[in-house]
Amino acid sequence: MRMPFSEFIASGDLKFIVVFIICTASAGYHFFKKLQAKKNQENQESAKHHNLKIYNAAFWIGILSILSLLLGLMHSFYFIGKTGGIAPELIFQGISNTLITPVLGVCLFMVCRILHGISNSNPLKS
């Protein structure tokens, strides 16, 4: 039994998902600008600038993924404590909903890191 992708996105924390999409869109924009700078043989400073922006977008997605995980767990355990105990099925459902946003964030983090690494002349010095 699989969770449909639309339900997966809808069950996540919307605030974090919106920020993830904005950061990923920013990384995509700077990726294409980086490719244009490399294609037109513009100065390397422009390509480095765009690469830094992609790196920053990936960094913030990673940090916010961790934050969303911690906030989700804190939220789940708060309500478990308020009820004085809860059925195991509800615990697992709450924790699975807690993990949705961090999983999406880690996936988008990897996409941004791939965009950061593509077409670098020296990936260690980016």
The tens digit of pLDDT for each residue in 67-103 reads: 989 888 888 778 777 777 777 777 787 788 888 889 9
Look at residue 43 and give its three-state secondary structure.
coil
Angle at 43 between CA 41 and CA 49, to 5 degrees: 115
Which pLDDT band, with edges at 50, 70 and 90, does 119 fall under? Answer: low
Using only the alpha carbons of the chain, give its radius of gyration. 19
Cβ contacts of residue 42 below 8 Å, gap of 6+? 36
Tell me the two tokens of residue 97: 């909903």
Tell me the two tokens of residue 91: 């615990």
Look at residue 2 and give its three-state secondary structure.
coil
pLDDT(121) > 70: no
Which pLDDT band, with edges at 50, 70 and 90, does 9 fall under? Answer: low
